Amino acid sequence: MKLSMKDLFMKSTLDSIFKVAFGVELDSMCGSSEEGRIFSNAFDDASAVTLRRYVDILWKIKKALNIGSEAELKRNIKVADDFVFKLICSKTEQMHKSQDDSSVSESLQGFCF
């Protein structure tokens, strides 16, 4: 398996952001979490397609017709949205189950910048 420094830095950054913002170990560097790996790949691919829009003069047409790279982008965004929505629902349930107001307040502070 070939790894580049760029990939390692990106995965490390993504892991750190998820740990700080959501309190969740994404573990995309080791790849032990299947959901984390799928999210990480979708996030990478969506970022790459978005970057390619700068040189692809037909991206708006592709988006309107939902073909090519824009169809891929739509699928990747759906994967990322589903993952984050599931994570937010899980955190919300944990907050509702918690009887301690201070822990709810601490949990909410992570989402308020």
- Give the model confidence (pLDDT) of 2-25 as tens digits: 778 888 888 888 889 888 888 888
Domain annotation covers residue 77: yes
| 22 domain-assigned | yes
Residue 12 is assigned to a structural domain of this protein: no
What does the pLDDT average to over 88-96? Answer: 85
Tell whether the model's pLDDT for residue 101 goes beyond 90.
Answer: no
Give per-residue pLDDT as tens, 49-78: 999 999 999 999 999 999 999 999 999 999
Residue 2 lies in a domain: no
Provide the number of structural domains found in the chain: 1
Range of the structural domain that residue 27 is part of: 18-95
Phi/psi of residue 86, each to 5°?
-60, -40
Would you say residue 13 lies in a domain? Answer: no
Q: Read out DSSP for 28-67? A: TTTT--HHHHHHHHHHHHHHHHHHHTTT-TTHHHHHHHT-
Specify if 76 maps to a domain. yes
| Residue 55 falls inside a structural domain | yes
Mean pLDDT of the chain: 85
Q: What is the DSSP code (8-state) at residue 110?
A: T
Q: Is residue 35 part of a domain?
A: yes
- Kindly state the percentage of the chain with pLDDT values over 90: 41
